Structure 1
Amino acid sequence: MSRIPAAKRRRISLPQDDSSASLPPKNYKSNLISNAAKWNLEQGYEQRPRKLKAKQRENRKLPIKTTEGWVEQKIAPEEEKEEDDDSGSFLGSGSGVEEDPEPEEEVLEEKPKVSQRQQIIEAKEELARIASLVNEDPEEHIGALRTLAQIAASANITVRKLALATQVAIYKDLIPGYRIRPLSEDTQNEKLSKEVRKLRNFEQKLVSSYQAYVKELGKLAKASGSGASEEVTSLATVAISCACTLLLAVPHFNFRGDLLRIMIDKLSGKRVDGDFVKCRETLETLFQNDEDGNASLDAVTMLTKMMKAKEYSFDESVLNTFLCLRLLSEFSSKASYNSVDKPTDQQYHGKKIKEKRDWRTKKQRKLLKENKAIEKEMKEADASVSHEERDRMQAETLKMVFVTYFRILKARSDKLMGAVLEGLARYAHLINQDFFGDILEALRDLISRAEASVNADVDDESEDDEDKVSQRYATRESLLCIITAFALLQGQDGATAASTLKLDLGFFITHLYRTLHPVSLNPDIELSSRSLHLPDPHTPEAHTQNAATNKINVQTTIVLLIRSLSSVLLPATALRAVPPLRIAAFCKQLMTVSLHLPEKSCVAMLGLLNTVTKTHGRKISALWNTEERRGDGVFDALKAEIEGSNPFAGTVWEGEILRRHFCPAVREAVAGIEKNIMEAR
């Protein structure tokens, strides 16, 4: 087989590729300049498509010269991928619909999420850092108070509570012991030294930050209500607690009225809870610790306005806060709802004795004068309160208290009557004679109204529970009026008041005598006004009844009756001599009443009779001896008047029955009464 010859190799020139064709000729520059006038520049722009797809985009990059020739730049692959994605979607650029801002949404979602626990930890560290900086140099880092206010506006409730509590601690340390007054325009333009100007700037920034903080506390405290959530209610509780702390810590500083308004707004509500009790105790502590009387005057003024606006429909514990005022023990003058008695200085009309003066040199007199000036400046710097200013404040406060008491008496508020009568009894030594007559007239009207209501219930012969309760309250109200009337007289100069105003307490004594039999037949005589509806001890309302300041409404009816009888038969001051006829009539009735009383009440009543017989034994000894009658006729136990009952025409036969009582204490009390009568003879 023959061998096939190999193909002949020829030398072939390289084909002219695009890169070599793209090389510019030698006369490229001269041809470009000569043909430039023939170019149609607008034709290329006109033939260009209006909207290019992603793949048909024009490559605007210039060619690059390499060793192989001129090379055109290609579009970056990342951009092509994005363009392909956009062109492939149904909302691409070719569809004519605007694209959604998807990149912005992705940026928002990529933010790191911090848990609430981590937020609280970071907030604690930041609050501690800011507090330490402010305590180290307050004037330098006073601007950190704004940062605290921003943290207090956080969305996390726990962080807000921590920020509010931190601000309280910082302000307690920063607030000075004086009140900062606002700067006027003239004061701001004064030329001051660098230190004084720095101090003024610090004070103004402190006041402005403190004002914003107090306003924020007020907003948070008002946010709580019946329809509020638990988070809002807990935040309001923290805000009220912070306000109470500031009011007690810095009562002299600016914006005290705003803090008091937070307290009184809470006390004006009908809901009694822990925040209510906190505000009430704060006011009581403020009244007890107030030395100059300025804060007490502001608080009492706002309280009286609130009571009038509420038409005296509020909890009686708010009214009992007046019993914590320091003027009860410090104020010496007497006042009413419109005036205050000024003390008269005794003038010495005789010849003045010339004082013996010590001889001093000119230098000593000059030194003494300088020392007096220094002492005067020191007193002003210490802000010591003068007695005249304090008395003026307390006098204004006392007038407002009496205005409130008298208006409630006129309004006939049943819920507040016990608190008002106890308050008048406590303030008896500070009431002047003009106001005393008005109070007695109001008490007479109350007793007449109570007696009329009891008679109406008896005539109707209704056995409803509401009628029985109203009758029981009317009896207690009349007893309270009698106790208050005699307590007021004990606080006055009885002889002078009786001769000047012609006061007659016979109305109260007669009413007490008429109510002895109905009260003795009351089955609830050993129960107080609240014994029939005691609250659950586990509820917050159980802690709102303060027995220390509300003594008169927690006392039972028998206690009130014995207090009234003690005021009539055993007066503390010698207002007038008790006539034998009155003592005999009351003793005869009380012995009869003791037969119907329960065991404890009977023992208490016989104890009172034991004291009466020891004091007035000679006047009434004839009642225990049938052979020593002083009067003729018959004893009438149902007589309304004391003088017409003819007590000396009867005898105390009830002692023979009480001597055989089942209780040993009653038998011993009867034996003690008879022993006093035998000794009096």
Structure 2
Amino acid sequence: MAEHAVKRRRLSPPGDSVAVPGFAKWNIEQDYENRPRKNKKEKAEKLLVKTAEGWKENERHAVADKAAEAEDDADSFLASDDEKDSGVSDLEPRPEPKKPRLPPKEEIRQAKEELARIAGHISENPEENVAQLGQLAQIAESENVTVKKLALGTQLAVYKDIIPGYRIRPLGKDDMTAKVSRDVRNLRAFEQGLLGGYKEYVKRLGKLAQDKEMGSVAVACASTLLTSVPHFNCRNDLIALVVRKLSTRQFSADAQKCVEALEQLFREDESGHASLEAVLQLTKMIKGKNYQIHESVLNTFLHLRLLSEFAHKASTNRIDKEEDEDAQQDRKKLGKKQREFRTKRERKVLRERKEVEKEFKEADAVVSYEERDKNQAETLKLVFVAYFRILKARVQHLMGAVLEGLAKYSHLINQDFFGDILEALKDLINEAEASLEIDEEDGESAVDLATQRNATRESLLCIITAFALLQGQQDVAKSANSLHLDLNFFITHLYRTLLPLALNQDIELSAKTAHLQDPNGLPLPVGKDSKVNVATTTVLLLRSLQSVLLPPTATKQVPPVRVAAFTKQLLTSTLHLPQKSATAVLGLLGQVSKTHAKKVAALWSSEERKGDGVFDALGKEVESSNPFAATCWEGELLRCHFDPRVREGVRGVERNVLEGR
């Protein structure tokens, strides 16, 4: 059998007329070995020439070197003319194939190890390894979502660990050219590297917050940074990211994180700078969104520190400060004889001591009271502007939060602003009454039951807010006649709503009971942080009655006719209330009978009646209802109630009346 000839690879194209390539006869390796090589020492030994611009290489030597390099390239077999004829051009280098991607689990494992190694190096020596922050940012650009999340979390932990307790100032041109010591230079390099990496990280969080997969992680990182390092740079960017998440009425889990972050920021802010920036952005966002936000955004204002620290009166445009605020003014008024005598040496020692104390305060970064009061005053004005705009716009779903906020800040409201608020509350009550009227022509209610319940609750909230404002303004309450503030309007409205409320089947339900779930299926923040505006209707009614019948001021201010009329109406309403509400109302009547025993004693004795005529339970005015013409016969029926707590409550009311006669 004949042996087959060994096949050789053709290097030239099939259509080439040359049978054998030309380079096949060459000894390529020997020619390459014998080719002259460049002598680097010769180039290094050439002297430089001094010119007007400085020391430079001689032009003649440079031209000769370029010519030599050109000859070497011409002699090279890769650049020879025979290359084209020999077919070497057919052997072009192929592009290197991409490295195969690792499996996801292996990629995550390697990313964890790399992130842990880099984070450990940075934490051990931040000043020397600050450049490795860029490596963490590169890992965060991975296509793997899990690796991205791990990288963002690692960056968060690293920045929280190495960020100093002060704000870094960007360097100017003068700082860059100034001569400083080595330690200062190293510190500046560390600060600028840290600041640059942190800015890129915050910018990255702002972009990822809009992503569906990475949005939750980005919001969590931004919220943590805002509460952990609020003094550091880029605070406005973090606040803007958080506020942007709260610009919709749909309340998600990310929005809840943002609300909690803002509340913590307000509680822990000592200087007031961060609170002022956050409130400014919140009020702009609320106005820009035409008040279509969730009420939890407004409830964040209740956590501002100015509730317990700010002591001046404010409105939407000015702050009223006390005249004798500084002790220095009183000291200036004193004569020279009344001042304490000090020698020249004692005055010098006292002056030096004050300077030392001032330096200590600056070193400890103690917040001055003047600066804090200024920031809190501006914050309070912004809050009042937002509240009053919502009142004027009649935004229904935010009305409860606004009324509660006004009640909380009642002790900080200026007298001029106080009168406007009361007028707005009256308008709200009138609108609520108009919405509950029955159309006689159609014979149907103008609104459904849900709207009717909301209108009733809104009226009760207005009454609570009006009396809370008066309780917080003792000077306004004393001069109510001069300001023409008619609180009888609120009292009369409350008296007329007692009997309809007793027949309300949803009186023991809160504002959120009927819709505890958000449209997204997430639970709303109702529970341990429940506010007044989400309390049950019974709770709102009791708070209103307590403000009318048991004010914190002297009891003589409550007329006997008012106490008797409300007592009679409440006992009648108790017959129709559920057991829990009936027990609560009887508990309130027990306090009223104990405080105003002599004023209501005649209602339990038919022989001691002071009024003539007939009691009008449906009267529009409290004083014209003639309550002393009636007797409290409802107690005999309540003695037979099935709930023992109701029976005990009735006995307690009658016992207080007998003891107080």
Common topology (TM > 0.5): yes
Which residue of structure 2 aligns with residue 619 of structure 1? Answer: 599
Larger radius of gyration: 1
Structure 1 position 671, deviation (Å): 2.3
Picking from 473, 480, 494, the partner of 1:498 is 480
Deviation string, structure 1 residues 74-112 (Cα, Å, up to 9, x no partner): xxxxxxxxxxxxxxxxxxx9xxxx99x99636x316x34
Q: Which residue in the other structure is 1:176 paired with?
A: 164
User: Per-residue CA shift, 1:248-294, capped at 9, x if unaligned?
Assistant: 11101111011111111111134322212111111111111111111
Deviates more, 1:378-387 or 1:342-351: 342-351
Q: Does 1:56 align with 2:19?
A: yes
Q: Secondary structure at the match of 2:457?
A: helix
Q: Displacement, 1:575?
A: 8.6
Cα 1:458–1:618 shift into 2, 3 Å: farther
* Structure 2 counterpart of 1:397, one-letter code: T
Map of 2:313 onto structure 1 = 334
Maintained 8 Å contact 2:590/2:652: yes
Matches within 5 A, 1:393-432: 393-432=375-414
CA contact (8 A) 1:323 1:549 kept: no
CA contact (8 A) 2:507 2:538 kept: yes
Task: Count residues with an aligned counterpart.
Answer: 584
Mark the CA change 1:378 to 1:621 in structure 2 (over 3 Å): closer, same or farther. closer
**Alignment partners' CA distance in 2, 1:113 and 1:679:** 89
User: What is the CA–CA distance in structure 2 between the aligned matches of 1:223 and 1:261, rounded to whole Å?
Assistant: 16
The Cα of 1:566 is off from its aligned counterpart by 1.2
Aligned equivalent of 1:217: 205
Q: Are the aligned partners of 2:491 and 2:548 in contact in 1 as well (CA < 8 Å)?
A: yes
Q: How does 1:62-211 map to 2 (within 5 A)?
A: 104=94, 107-108=96-97, 111-211=99-199
What does residue 659 of structure 2 align with?
A: 679
> 1:206-245 to 2 correspondence within 5 Å?
206-224=194-212, 233=213, 235-245=214-224
1:480 to 447, 454, 461: 461
1:186/1:678 Cα in 2 relative to 1: closer, same or farther (>3 Å)? same
Paired letter, 1:246: L
2:515 counterpart residue number: 533
Change (3 A) 1:239 1:536: closer
Q: For 1:351, which of 335, 353, 357 is the aligned residue?
A: 335
CA displacement at 1:370 relative to structure 2:
5.4
Cα distance in 2 between the residues matched to 1:323 and 1:459: 46
**8 Å Cα contact 2:248-2:293 kept in structure 1:** yes
Counterpart residue number, 2:291: 312
Q: In the TM superposition, what is the alpha-carbon distance from 1:536 to its structure 2 partner?
A: 9.1
Two-structure CA RMSD over aligned residues (Å): 2.8
Q: Report deviation, 1:301.
A: 0.8
- 1:195 to 1:663, Cα distance in 2 relative to 1, 3 A: closer
Counterpart amino acid of residue 449 in structure 1: E
Which amino acid is the alignment partner of residue 588 of structure 1? K
Q: Do 2:461 and 2:533's aligned partners in 1 also have CA atoms closer than 8 Å?
A: no
Question: Structure 2 counterpart of 1:300, which letter?
Answer: V
Offset from partner CA, 1:286-343 (integer Å, 9 cap, x none): 1111111111111111111111111111111111111111111111111112111112
Deviation string 1:547-570 (CA, Å, 9 cap, x unpaired) is: 344321332212211211111111
Query: In structure 2, do the counterparts of structure 1 residues 566 and 112 end up closer, same or farther at CA, with 3 Å as the change threshold?
Result: closer
Question: Please, which moves more after superposition, 261-270 or 130-139?
Answer: 130-139
Contact 2:283 2:386 in 1 (8 A): yes
- 1:520-669 mapped onto 2 (5 Å cutoff): 520-535=502-517, 541-542=522-523, 544-574=524-554, 577-669=557-649
- Aligned-residue identity in percent: 58
- Contact 1:320–1:549 (CA under 8 A) maintained in structure 2: no
What CA distance in whole angstroms lies between the structure 1 residues aligned with 2:556 and 2:449? 37
Residue type of the partner of 1:278? K
Cα distance in 2 for residues equivalent to 1:458 and 1:120? 72
CA–CA distance in structure 2, aligned partners of residues 63 and 541 of structure 1 = 81
Q: 1:196 to 1:59 in 2, by over 3 A?
A: same
* Residue 680 to residue 141, structure 1, CA distance change in 2 (3 Å): closer
**TM superposition shift of 1:483:** 0.8
2:350 aligned with 1:387: no
The 3 A distance-change label for structure 1 pair 637 and 183 is same
> Contact 1:328/1:427 (CA < 8 Å) preserved in 2?
yes
- Counterpart residue type for residue 610 of structure 2: R
Structure 1 spans left out of the alignment, 5+ residues: 1-48, 65-92, 225-232
What residue is the counterpart of 1:45 in the other structure? Answer: none
Aligned-pair distance for 1:511? 0.6
SS for the counterpart of 1:205 is helix
1:360, distance to aligned residue in structure 2 (A): 7.7
- Does the C-alpha gap of structure 1 residues 382 and 459 become closer, same or farther in structure 2, counting only changes over 3 Å? farther
Whether the 8 Å CA contact 1:433–1:497 is kept in 2: the answer is: no
Distance in 2 between residues matched to 1:134 and 1:516, nearest whole Å: 68
2:439–2:445 Cα contact (<8 Å) kept: no
* 2:437 equivalent to 1:455: yes
1:462 Cα deviation from its structure 2 partner: 2.8
**C-alpha distance in 2, partners of 1:455/1:587?**
26
After alignment, is 439-448 or 130-139 more displaced? Answer: 130-139
Match of 1:670 in 2: 650
Q: State the SS of the aligned residue for 1:167.
A: helix
Query: Partner of 1:89 in structure 2?
Result: none
The 8 Å contact of residues 582 and 646 in structure 2, kept in 1 or not, is answered as yes
* 1:268 paired to 2:247: yes
Alignment-derived partner of residue 41 in structure 2: none
Amino acid at match of 1:155: E
Inter-CA distance 643–50: structure 2 relative to 1 (3 Å threshold) = closer
- Per-residue CA deviations over 1:654-676 (Å, capped at 9, x if unaligned) read 22222333332222222222222
Indicate conservation of the 8 Å contact 2:471/2:477, yes or no: no
Aligned partners of 1:139 and 1:577: how far apart in 2? 70
The code of the aligned residue for 2:131 comes to G
Q: For 2:236, which of 251, 257, 266 is the aligned residue? A: 257
| Change beyond 3 A, Cα 1:669–1:117 | closer
Structure 1 residues 594 and 136, CA, compared in 2 at 3 Å: closer, same or farther?
closer
User: What CA distance in whole angstroms lies between the structure 2 residues aligned with 1:200 and 1:434?
Assistant: 53
Aligned partner of 2:416 in structure 1 is: 434
The Cα offsets for residues 27-75 of structure 1, whole Å up to 9 and x where unpaired, read as xxxxxxxxxxxxxxxxxxxxxx9995276245356689xxxxxxxxxxx
Q: Which residue of 2 aligns with 1:519?
A: 501
Change (3 A) 1:330 1:55: same
Segment drifting more, 528-537 vs 210-219: 528-537
- SS of the counterpart of 2:97? helix
Distance in 1 separating the partners of 2:281 and 2:548: 39
* Offset, 1:488: 0.8
Report the residue type matching 2:450 in the other structure. Answer: V
**Residue aligning to 2:273:** 294
The AA in structure 2 aligned to 1:122 is: Q
Structure 2, unaligned stretches of length 5 or more? 1-11, 28-86
Q: Per the alignment, in what secondary structure is the counterpart of residue 454 of structure 2? A: helix
Q: C-alpha distance in 1, partners of 2:494/2:426?
A: 12
Contact 2:438 2:445 in 1 (8 A): no
